A and B are shown apart, each in its own frame.
Chain A
Amino acid sequence: MNTVRRDFLKGIAAVPFLGYFAFAFKENINKEISAKSKNLYETLKIRQLDAPGAKLLPPTGNDGNRLRIGLVGNGWRGEQLLKSLGYVHPEFIKQNTVDGKFTKRLQDFLDQEDLNIEFAGVCDTFDVRVQRGVEISTGGLGPGGKTNTSAPAKVFPSYREMVDSDEIDAILIATPDHTHTQIAIAAAKAGKHVYLEKPMTHSIEEAVELKKVIKSTGVVFQLGHENRQQMSFKIARELYQKGVLGDVSIVQTFTNRNTVFGAWIRDDAFDHKLGNRDNIDWKEFLAGAPWHEFDRKRYFSWQRYSDYGTSVTGNDFSHRYDCVNQILELGIPETVVALGGQHYYKTHGDMPDVLSAVFHYPKRKLTMTYDCSLKNSIYRQSKILGSEASMDVDRAIMLYKDGNSERYADIQANPSDPMYYYEPNTGIDAISSATSQAYIKGGYGPTYIDGKVIDATLLHLKEWIDAIRGHGKTSCNIDVGFEEAVTFNLANLAYVNKKPVIWDSVNEKAIVG
């Protein structure tokens, strides 16, 4: 009997512990779960978030409104725009067809929305790119089951003939910065709608002039900051407007790159090795810039030369600025200072590779800073520092409560752990280079809307095309484009003059010193 009892007790040795577990866990688990799953809106003290529920506009194209689009500048970016419009090079289709099957990349392209446009004309100062544009126009497969095999895009000797042509309804401009204004103005005056790549203009004077022309002609204008379509910025904007951040006192923006390509030295990148005096229209490239002998470096790495490019501020800060500008509606700063230098990449141009700029917005009681290094590639999101919470924002959002916040005094979250985290699932393919990783992370790649993953550039072009067809308005219009152009150009003036620069908003002029 004794053995049996001892046997039995041994067998149930662990049961008392289970008893304790059962007895005590209920209370503990409720505490833990309520802490974990505390309603997000309750945590943020807002009633709801509307942005994530945004719907896509259904396709606006039909047989009667096919838009004939001309492309000025079929470079790297120009070709990306064409892909979003539904046109790729036959090479792309060949490379992405394996044993008669399409790769995911090609399938994604074929599945994208057909914007119902025709790639009708192309011009470029580099013959190789003109030829490639023509090949793309008859590339073969396209979205919506169509085949792009009809008439090839018409080659125009320059943008002047293109904007005057009655075979073109609207134009895309993806040329060096110093030619943006003249092409956009010529197009608008000829009644052609304009999609202009960023940054908007090479100078403040040009921005003033372009704004005047766009407004007076009434053409549909979109500046190419596709991040306007990124869901994270729309959510961030709503969070800010609903008071989640409190009073914003500092906005920080960054550029960090550490490669020659990232520093915009691109003489031998892509197909640039093919370029020479005979296949480049050097005079047309120079346009209004000071005369200089033919120089491959200047042509292919134009971003680094202030004669043509707009420095790191136009190249990259303009992106970051437009992101925070759409969240906070900052507009143009009153005063800007900037210091830095060209310390590392001295073989090309006059562009600084280390730069820090401060933009003061006294009416908004805040400053915005921009730090750029082309000799360090740490990844930094833009930061918005508020009295109640701080926000790291790119294609994701991380929100941290402030240690001394009153609004969130009752929230137990550690200020170093995000109390709100948003990151869309965009199922992106493996990304190769550091620059393209930063591009995707920065929010310039795919976004998530209406249950779908869609490239932001496609949405941005769609918004422009829909607006031309009378549906909705462009989000990166001439007014916010003007704010972008003036803001980064003020920083460039401050850097070049080594003096504070003040914005005279009445006369729309920069005052140096």
Chain B
Amino acid sequence: MKRGKIEHSYSDWQVFALTFLRVLIGWHFLYEGLVKIYTPGWTAKGYLLGSAGPFALLFKSMAQSEFILNLVDLFNEWGLVLIGLSLFIGLFSKPSKIIGIVLLSLYYLAYPPFPGLGENINVEGNYWIVNKNLIEIAALILLSVFPSSFVTGFDRFLTSAKKKEKYDKQKEILQT
């Protein structure tokens, strides 16, 4: 069997583990997005203005323009909700993971846990280079190379019959 096809033959525990991780991240994104939508007058302005590190100027400049700030707010609120839903139910999982990685990278760069940047009111915990954002990025990368939505998600119904056939066939081969 070719190595590239191994994902088509997960064990039940592997399917469970990958689905579990996908649902957890979906849950997190969805809740983050909904909190922002439900908070009256929520805006990323303060977060952007407080940005630290090598890209701080870029993030700060985003908050200076009303137009860009509105875009950022909208993208944050609905981006998070849609990515969350998508991961949760496993629909259009691949593009949403990629957008999720982009969003998380922006959060990471706005407050990079680099030494020498000092304390910041907008971040908690103790991190050096690696923080929770980076770990969630890594988890999404992992999930995009080991997808589970075509097994335990709505993507299953979108997957071409051919692909499914292939999967079933391989599973059969493995089981025999």
Contacts and interface: CB of A to CB of B under 8 A. Distances in A.
Interface of A: 7, 10-15, 17-18, 21, 25, 29-30, 32-33, 36-37, 421, 425, 427
Contacts of B154: 11-12
Given A33-B38, A427-B60, A13 B27 contact: no
A21 B30 contact: yes
Nearest to B90: A14
B49 A14 contact: no
A209 B18 CA distance: 82
**Complex A-B, nearest 8 residue pairs according to Cβ-Cβ distance, in ascending order:** A11-B156, A13-B152, A425-B49, A14-B23, A18-B88, A33-B39, A29-B38, A33-B38
Contacts of B19: 13-14
B31 interface: yes
B89 A18 contact: yes
Contact of B152 (A10, A21, A33, A37): A10
Nearest to A36: B39
Nearest to B85: A18
A14 B30 contact: no
Given A18-B88, A25-B34, A37-B40, 5 more contacts: A14-B23, A21-B27, A25-B31, A29-B34, A29-B35
A10 B156 contact: yes
Q: How large is the interface on B (under 10, 10 to 19, 20 to 34, 35 or more residues)?
A: 20 to 34
A510 B22 CA distance: 74
B98 interface: no
14 contacts: A7-B156, A10-B151, A11-B152, A11-B157, A12-B154, A13-B19, A14-B22, A14-B152, A17-B27, A21-B27, A21-B30, A32-B35, A33-B35, A36-B39
Interface string B4-48: 000000000000000100110011001100110011100000000
A15 B22 CA distance: 12
Given A37-B39, A421-B121, A425-B49, A14 B88 contact: yes
A483 B121 CA distance: 36
Nearest to B24: A17
A10 B151 CA distance: 7
A441 to B, nearest CB: 11
B50 to A, nearest CB: 8
A499 to B, nearest CB: 41
Contacts of A421: 121
A157 B49 CA distance: 50
A13 B152 CA distance: 6
Nearest to B39: A33
Chain A CB count within 10 A is highest, among B39, B40, B85, for: B39
Interface in B97-133: 121
A30 B49 CA distance: 27
B153 A14 contact: yes
A15 B89 contact: yes
Given A17-B23, A17-B88, A21-B30, A11 B153 contact: yes
A142 to B, nearest CB: 26
A11 B88 CA distance: 12
Chain B CB count within 10 A is highest, among A11, A12, A18, A21, for: A11
Nearest to A37: B39
B34 A14 contact: no
Nearest to A28: B31
A421 B40 CA distance: 19
A331 B154 CA distance: 72
B14 to A, nearest CB: 14
